[in-house]
Amino acid sequence: MITADALQRFRLEVNEHNRVHVLVAVVSFLLAVGLLGHAVLQSDGARTEAQPSESFKTSGVVNAKGDYELVTPSSWQVSKRGPATTMSSPRGDMVVTVGPAPRGDLADSANEIFSSVAQTYSKVAFLGATRQRVDGREAVVFSGQGTNKRDIRLRFVGVTFNDGGRNHSMTAFVRRDSDAGRALPRIEAILNTFATR
C-alpha cells in the first residue's frame, strides 16, 4: 500500500517548484521507453515471420455513459463499465483505461487517480508527475510502478486532462518486462483521438 508520505510528495511535486526534477524523471522514463522500443523493433524484424504483427487498423469507440469517444487499434479488446472504457492489446502487454476524473484542479484530480491505482495495486512507487499540455489540453502526467494481484510487476503512466470543461483520465499499464516501445505511441494515438460528445 502506498504511504501518506508518497501521496504528499506527489502533491508537492505537481504543485511546487520541483517541476524541473519531475520533468527530468518523466523525460528519462519516456526516453528509456523509446530506447527500449528501438531495440525491440530492431529485434522484431527477425521475428516477423514467427509472430503476426498487430493490425494498424482502427475502430471508433463511443462511451455514451462517459459522454466521450476515441479511436483504438481494431485488434484490441474493448470493454465498457459505466463511464469507463478499458482497452487491452492482443498480446496482453498493455491495458489502457479511460474515463471521467474527479472535478476540480487537475493536480487534485490526478492525485485521486494515483491514489486509486495505489489502492488497487501493491508495492506502488511514485516515479514523478508534471503539469504540461498534451494534445493541446492542460494535463498532469504521472508515472509509477506497482505489482498486481497475480504478483506481476507493472509500470504505469497516467494522464489527467481537461476536455470540454470536464476532467478525464487515461492510465496505461504495461508489464515491466514487456515491449515498452509499443506503449508510448499507442497511448498518444488513443489520447489524441479522445473527444467529449
pLDDT classification of 177: cutoffs 50, 70, 90: confident
Least confident of 9-23, 29-43, 130-144: 29-43
Least confident of 14-28, 48-62, 87-101, 135-149: 14-28
Rg (CA), the chain: 17
pTM over cut 0.95 = no
Q: Which CATH class is domain 4-196?
A: alpha beta
Q: In this structure, how many other beta carbons lie within 10 angstroms of the beta carbon of residue 171?
A: 24
Alpha helix locations (H) across the chain? 4-15, 19-47, 106-120, 183-193
Paired strand residues for 27 = none
pLDDT at 93: 83
pLDDT over threshold 80, residue 161: yes
Counting beta carbons within 10 angstroms of the beta carbon of residue 195, is it exposed (0 to 12), middle (13 to 18) or buried (19 or more)? exposed
What does residue 154 show for φ and ψ, rounded to 5 degrees? -125, 160
Name the one residue in this structure whose C-alpha cell is 487515461. 170
pLDDT at 32: 36
pLDDT classification of 178: cutoffs 50, 70, 90: confident
pLDDT classification of 56: cutoffs 50, 70, 90: low
